[in-house]
Structure 1
Amino acid sequence: MTGSLKLEDVSVGYGRKPVLNHLDIGPLPPGSLVAVVGSNAVGKSTLLKAIAGLRTSSGRILLGDTDLSRLPLSGRVRLVGYLSQALPQPTSLVAYEAVTSAFRAVRGDLSTAEAERMVDEVFTALDLRNIALRRLSEMSGGQRQMVGLAQVLVRKPPLLLLDEPTSALDLRWQLNVLETVRTITRDDKVICLMAIHDINLALRFCDQLIVLGGGGLLAAGQPDVVMDAGLLRRAYGIEGRVEHCSRGFPIVLTDRAVAAPPMPQ
């Protein structure tokens, strides 16, 4: 077990343009599936890139006793699995080759037999065996997104950063991905931060929410505690309600748009 994730006074931007300022988040314990939500352009992807080491930031990003912000990118790849919004390129590689190559690039310490076992496991977990020998150039965008997710999950890092992992998927595959990620997160005691636009999927599957807006943190905590009508107005500029379905899960019902949420200056 690597330990909890904690952000201390983290700021990140693009050049001289700040996006997120002085974030204090956590500690988020192992086994946590955390949704990063908020309106467009508030910094969800930027936050994940900063934690992954792909965007310069200030402050401290602590995974257990390790300050990720002090590690070179080569040192983070063993601890952090990052899935970007960009889909894997439609190459001539088949899915099994693409996942195996990505795995071996980071985990060259394992034997061929062990690597094959772990690749087989992730194809089974994501229900991808039927496309394992299909070329990426012959796949739909949703199928390539699933291959990209497999490339990240197969390494079993203690910290997962998933940027819109369901954006190209239909409803069945959205549910399959979220159920699989939640199972892996809990069973392997890893931490997963997932940027996601569908607030109801976030409420249904995630243990905690991080709500960004106006250049900072609007709220963080358990979904059924932090999400309410006031936060919907501040984060999204809408009038809405949080009710519960017949199975007891919170759901957001939207009424109307009232004003654009504030953007970073």
Structure 2
Amino acid sequence: MPLTIAAHCVESITTDGLSWLQHQLLTCEKRIRIADAPTGAGKSFAFQKGMIKQQQRILFIVPTKRLAQNLIRGLFDDLIKPESEGGAGWDTQKAHNKVSLWSSDATQKLRNEGITKIGAHRIRELFTLDETREGGEMIVAVPESVNNILLRTFPRLGQTDVGVFHVLNAFDHIVFDEFHTIQARGFGLAAVFAKLAAALWQDGTKVRAKISFLSATPINIMPVLNHLEIEETLIEQLSEPVGNQGRFIHGDVQLHFANVDNLA
């Protein structure tokens, strides 16, 4: 006898189709947001909307270059898709100028194009990708690439060092996607951003960025944030309501069981 797992959906609550969680990720005023929702619920899509509709700057950090490549590919497709089909309706050049990928593969691509001073190039991108065109911007990065900018110094090249404070004020949102899979060094980076964003806000320095942790299989990071002495009043924990109406995450799934001697 088969077992049926019923379809799950998320419901849109805004005129532009955002779910409750997506709307909260863009509007919640807390400095630190911890969000969980099933895979396919559109956690990253919320920030894409913020980039397109609200002209926000997003630093979107993912644990692997494969995830970064997939995210960039989908983002480009949505940016150049006509508005009548749910896209942004941007021309191809604008889409390429307003999005950047920071990873080892992207570094090699820059070198192939003749750009040898990768650090200087990315420091410029940190503050603006293309100020000649209107619209938001997004940098999709792996933690190692962000660490490289923050930990290296460039005095011999005549470049100004960049610190966490600069990053916090260069973006509206700094997002750590699939944070449960981030390795120790990457999670250390996340902790630094969260701590300084909260501490500076408490001291009256109104930093620009909000920090978001996203995951489909969340781990409890509150003990870490408590150990860092981040006030709980600055933290919002968000969970996407899932039901049987709205946009499908998945349809009905049927499981069939059978007695077999082995799985060969």
Find the structure with the greater CA-based Rg. Answer: 2
Q: Structure with the greater relative contact order (CA < 8 A, sep ≥ 6): 1 or 2? A: 2
